[in-house]
Structure formats: C-alpha cells, structure tokens
Structure 1
C-alpha cells in the first residue's frame, strides 16, 4: 500500500504532510482536459480553446467550451465536462442574483470569488468530492478587462495571460517569453499568440474546425464568439507563420 492510502479516501482528511489527495486527483483530471488559454490585450480579453475532437462522428458545433455567462463575462472550461456545466449554471445564477439584488451587472472579480468560494466548499465536507474542472473567467467591467483562473481547490488568481488543461506548463512558458508585463499587446496579436500556443501543443493536428475563440472588448463590454470562417483564416495564417519557427525549436 502506498503512503497515501487511508488519506485519499475522504476529502476532509489531511495527510501527514498537509495534502488533500482528492483535490490533487481533481487537478489531475483538469490536466487531462482540453487546452484553454486566456490573454488580456490593450483592447480587451480573448479566450481560445482547442476542443480536441477525438472522433470523426462527432459534430464539433455540439461541443461548447466557451460560455457566455452575462453580457460582459465569459468562461472557458477544462476538465470534466459535466462538472464544468454545473459551474457555468452556477455562475449564470450568481449574475442574475446580483442583478436582481443590486440592479447592476456583477463585477468580474465578484463573480470569480463567488465561484471559487463555491468550489472551496466542496473540499471540506464529507460525502462530496471536489469539482474536477478549472475555469478561466474573463470579462470587462468598470476596472477594465479582467482575467481570473480558478482550480478545483477553489484557489483564485488574476493573470495577464494564463492557460488550463493539457500542456499548461508549455503554454505558460511561451506566454512568459512573448508577453511584456509592462506593455499590453494588441487584440490581433493576442489571437495570434493564443493560436501559436495551441499550435505548439497540437502541431500539425491543429484543426480550425475544433478551435473556439471568444472575446470581450473594452469599448462595448459584450461577449462575442468569432465566426468559424474567421477562425479558419487565423489558424491558416498561424500555421504558415510559425511552422518553421516551432519545428526549429523542437530540433534544438
């Protein structure tokens, strides 16, 4: 029996070295999920997801990874699909409650904290399990463009750019190399950078039909999804621009 046996069967039991194994297992479920990327730009925030279709029989449009939560907030998910759907419904409910209570749209940070608190509650009660899903919560409010990441433990962090799901470490390394914290990139460049990261992971398997792009611009604070035709054009440009560069890095 491994040293964790006896400590990984209940969510409320800490191991001697201070670990909650069920939370760590939930994080592993997220790591096996599809890659989702969020990037703040000078004009707003963009979310990109590779839906990773595994069968030719699947209809790509039937799989949704970027969800409109309110007019000004969107969420990208990775991990267990059913868990993500429940959290998305919870987020939409929180937006409506805030609107009815205070007669104003919820702030992005406020929603992110409420969802994180909800996820954290599922790490401290017996008879439940943590959500096996991570979220990128993006939106625009009075404080400008915001981008938050929340994991199965309920931890909440704000980023200029981040990623969840498969290949997260690889994407973060590339984002850190490409983004100057003192200077915001343009909206156009943020899309190219996000697709470059996805291409870095998928290589020649990157398929425009499985890429989903959502964005919120500061000028109107409205969630939009990019037309598949425009997504296809961006993907083809990225394949042409970065193929030689990435292949050279792989050889080195």
Structure 2
C-alpha cells in the first residue's frame, strides 16, 4: 500500500476566544490545481450554537453534517435543552473511529 502526501487542500481556520468562536474557510472547491467551483459553502450550521467547517470529500462531509444535525435535534427534542458541544463531538469521534477501516475522508473543525 502506498502512502500519498496531500500537497494541496482546503483552508479552514477556527479561532476560540473567551466569548466566541470564529470559523473561516475559503470558497473554492478544488482538487490540486483544478478549481471545480468558485462559490462553495464550507461552514455548516449543526445547531443554533454549533457549526463546523468542511474539508475533504464533500459527500462524506455532507453525510456527517446531516447525521450531526439529526443528533442535535433529537437531543433537543428529548431533553428540551441544546446538546453540549462536548457530547456532539464525542459522538462524532465514535462515528469516525467505528469506520476506521473504510474511513470518511474529511477534516472537520467543530
């Protein structure tokens, strides 16, 4: 099995302060030097207080985003309060680890 280094990819940045979190991402959908589209949304709203940036395979990232949105809504319906970020990220880590032999090809900031 050959290991390839990723030379080019999407830029996403997350900054945490005492009162806020700032997420930023570029808008190009690219693969190496090829730019497929110039206006792509790479920041996804999971809940009113949770968002994530997407990098990697778009289909995998969209699937994970929809699962996380479902988990956040289900938690809010059953408990009446928004899901804590730690709980959602813990679920995401279990989900990503359970598919380690057929992994999601994504890099996420939550």
Q: Same fold (TM over 0.5)?
A: yes
Match 1:114 to one of 68, 71, 91: 91
1:46 aligns with 2:19: no
Larger helix percent: 1
**Cα shift readout 1:22-63 (whole Å, capped 9, x = no counterpart):** xx77xx56x7430111011233010111123525xx451xx1
Partner of 1:132: 105
TM-score normalised to structure 1 length? 0.38
Match 1:84 to one of 38, 53, 61: 61
Q: Indicate the RMSD between aligned Cα atoms, in angstroms.
A: 2.2
Partner of 2:74: 97
CA distance in 1, matches of 2:38, 2:27: 11
Larger strand percent: 2
CA distance in 2, matches of 1:38, 1:59: 21
Query: Does structure 2 conserve the Cα–Cα contact (< 8 Å) formed by 1:90 and 1:115?
Result: no
Q: Which has the higher contact order (CA 8 A, sep 6+)?
A: 1
TM-score normalised to structure 2 length? 0.83
Query: Does structure 2 conserve the Cα–Cα contact (< 8 Å) formed by 1:33 and 1:80?
Result: no
Gaps of 5+ in 2: 30-34
**Cα shift readout 1:60-102 (whole Å, capped 9, x = no counterpart):** 1xx1100111000001011111110001001101101111221
SS in 2 for 1:131: coil
Counterparts in 2 of 1:67 and 1:88: CA distance versus 1, 3 Å:
same
SS in 2 for 1:48: strand
Gaps of 5+ in 1: 6-23, 138-252
SS in 2 for 1:43: coil
Partner of 1:72: 49
SS in 2 for 1:135: strand
